[in-house]
Chain A
């Protein structure tokens, strides 16, 4: 799948908003691609354009060598998982899942068989006769996935599908989605604002900011070799440090305190806080720049106000 120079501008009474400013992306078959960005960066709009629910001003979408830009949404081999699942409340789970096949006029017997297979795939055997309002959030999520997958789309679009779930369920569903994707070999285009989720699941991450891709790369590249300051701070909130007129991204876990000879920078401990299993230490360098270092564990033998020596093993030069 290929996206070529896609732009989109919304017009409203308040004026124009350029939501997408020339998006180019090549996606391999069977790849898990994540569009990562804060809300309002245009990622949902891009997904809706791919699904055909929105039309791009310029640019084209190529799927399997065919230009599908002008195709109606119901004629595309692309299916979507909506943010709030968009399950039809007046249909049972079975009817919801089988809806796509019913539209294609697939014989009843085959429909039934495939629905059963799908229910098994998403581990919802026995739930077929229920209505969506009798399901939990996680179960609704599975129905939405089954409903999209039964059409055997070439590409599955997922619009923050785990956003409404609690943390524990999120983790579980992340693994499950990944398992499904590997098993079926379908291309996934996944939207999230959660960098941890993106890194956990993706083959490729496209970090989006104000309508453009700041960086496209593997999770490793995006995390360890951020190209721009936005990517550096959005993905794993790295420290941005200016040294000799150049800007560097510095991961909190890469900062060492009083460890070895390369700890040559003087720094004062400003604050210590404990968050997410990590101790975060805010330090001020002699030129007034502040950096945050992180350590596992609670206890660390440093007092607030103390002056110490710090250094780092790795710093990524960025624009």
Chain B
């Protein structure tokens, strides 16, 4: 939060409390402004928040612990498919006899407070499964294995419809339950005193709550013993061993904790979208999240948040400008929006490497207790 507040021009430096208020205000009114341009934009903001969670989680692995992970989206997939399996009619369609037998003729519909933790736990488990074989790998080799892991998970999702139909294959799973907070269905718009409050708003504030919770947790984590151990490991693995850090456990913890965020975000995605298919979890998505982290500034919470926001919103803005523009100029669409998105990401990376090699918001070198850092800076 503080890191974000520092970004506010002028106020960030001189009036930190006011700056913090500005950040909170922006976060609260953003969808109200977005709706002026159409529902699509509120939807974009919802997705931006999901990507923020992903970027925050990946930042733990890549930024804090220094482990390059190119298959991160697999954990998102695990979370989303857990939701799809435990909160949709799919179970009844895939195993009608069995489902009827256990009294679940219309599928399994577990509440969110059960499904989200299960999804997070399964994702954490997947993180450990990925972590074990790559303990000794670093750099390029680590990247290749994690990339392979991401693809394996996607291919599993694509093919696990036979002999037992678990994932419904390439068609994906449909009609997922929406987020239901103890009887309050977030997907239903509410009419209040003549105003219709769109369900997208509810999702926005719910996701915002999740993101803020994640940020607070990660902030504590960063200055904890674990956070310091990761920073040491990232700087110099041998030296980290020499000061008594258990490298194996710390790496596994990084992978599993990072994966947990992916799993939760995946569950939220499933509930929000109401539909999951393997297509959503391609290698390109892994890369997109990584680009958000790197673009924002590796090892930095504010960087992950801003990176995710910009790189989710910009392609959408571009899409709305570029499509009509292409129609007008060439009479047809020459560049597909998805191609444009990747083009923009590459361009963002190139510009960043040239202009701000440490990312939009470079991480502080220090990670000790904040009061300690402040004291150090005052004396320096």
- A is bound by B: no
